[in-house]
A and B are shown apart, each in its own frame.
Chain A
Amino acid sequence: DTGVSQDPRHKITKRGQNVTFRCDPISEHNRLYWYRQTLGQGPEFLTYFQNEAQLEKSRLLSDRFSAERPKGSFSTLEIQRTEQGDSAMYLCASSLESRNEQFFGPGTRLTVL
């Protein structure tokens, strides 16, 4: 039984570059969530998908951020023109139903120099 996987686990980039992260949810989970966690804080919600539809977006998700979930399977989170303030752990989670537990992946740690 595989859990939620994320790739890459670590990403170092220079300010102004674009980065893309991938999340593979637990198979058959129709809900997929993205969170951001900065040092010393709890995760903050970014966005969520039910199948391929993006149903909720946080105000934290600026115009530089875009997320997709084509075909309702894996998801990608792209950050354009990265800024130092984007440095954080990006967590992905999935769940089977609305009232079910969210299972988290190991996260992608982004460092913007």
Chain B
Amino acid sequence: AQTVTQSQPEMSVQEAETVTLSCTYDTSESDYYLFWYKQPPSRQMILVIRQEAYKQQNATENRFSVNFQKAAKSFSLKISDSQLGDAAMYFCAYRGFQGGSEKLVFGKGMKLTVNP
């Protein structure tokens, strides 16, 4: 079974600084997607960034970028120029395709605090 591990339960960063959130996963599949979702307090989960495993180039979305290391099964999220609105729970998620499954497998999440 696929598993996703976020080993850091909490992190804090100063406004305008850069922070990196770590995520590792375990799978035997070669075709899969990885995601970072953001869940602000009392608000719904939104997608931050997505990485297809077959793509060697790391995904980038404005201030958000990933470091995807397929062999190491590592998928970290870098947030540059942190803003107060980045404060939230961040979840790493895996989506495989074996057996037609469409479920997302989430890590436990990491709480990011942004200090002014």
Q: Are A43's CB and B104's CB within 8 A? A: yes
Q: Are A41's CB and B50's CB within 8 A? A: no
Q: Which of chain B's residues have a CB closer than 8 A to the CB of A28?
A: none
Q: Are B103's CB and A40's CB within 8 A? A: no
Which of B33, B47, B104 is close to A99, meaning CB atoms less than 8 Å apart? B33
In the complex, whether B44 has a CB less than 8 A from a CB of chain A is yes
Which of B47, B103, B108 is close to A42, meaning CB atoms less than 8 Å apart? B108
A55 to chain B: closest CB distance in Å?
A: 7
The residues in B between 44 and 68 inclusive whose CB is less than 8 angstroms from any CB of A are: 44-47, 50
A109 to chain B: closest CB distance in Å?
A: 10
Given A106-B44, A107-B44: A56 and B103 interface contact (C-beta under 8 Å): yes
Q: Which of chain B's residues have a CB closer than 8 A to the CB of A56?
A: 100-103
Additional A-B contacts beyond A3-B44, A33-B102, A56-B103 (7; CB < 8 A): A31-B102, A43-B45, A45-B104, A58-B103, A98-B97, A106-B43, A107-B44
In the complex, whether B105 has a CB less than 8 A from a CB of chain A is yes
How many residue pairs link A and B with beta carbons under 8 A? The number is 53
Q: Are A44's CB and B106's CB within 8 A? A: yes
**Number of interface residues, chain A, beta carbon within 8 A:** 25
In the complex, whether A90 has a CB less than 8 A from a CB of chain B is no
Q: Are B47's CB and A101's CB within 8 A? A: yes
In the complex, whether A91 has a CB less than 8 A from a CB of chain B is yes
Q: Which of chain B's residues have a CB closer than 8 A to the CB of A101?
A: 35, 47, 50
In the complex, whether A105 has a CB less than 8 A from a CB of chain B is yes
Alpha-carbon distance between A45 and B45 when the two chains are bound, in angstroms? 15
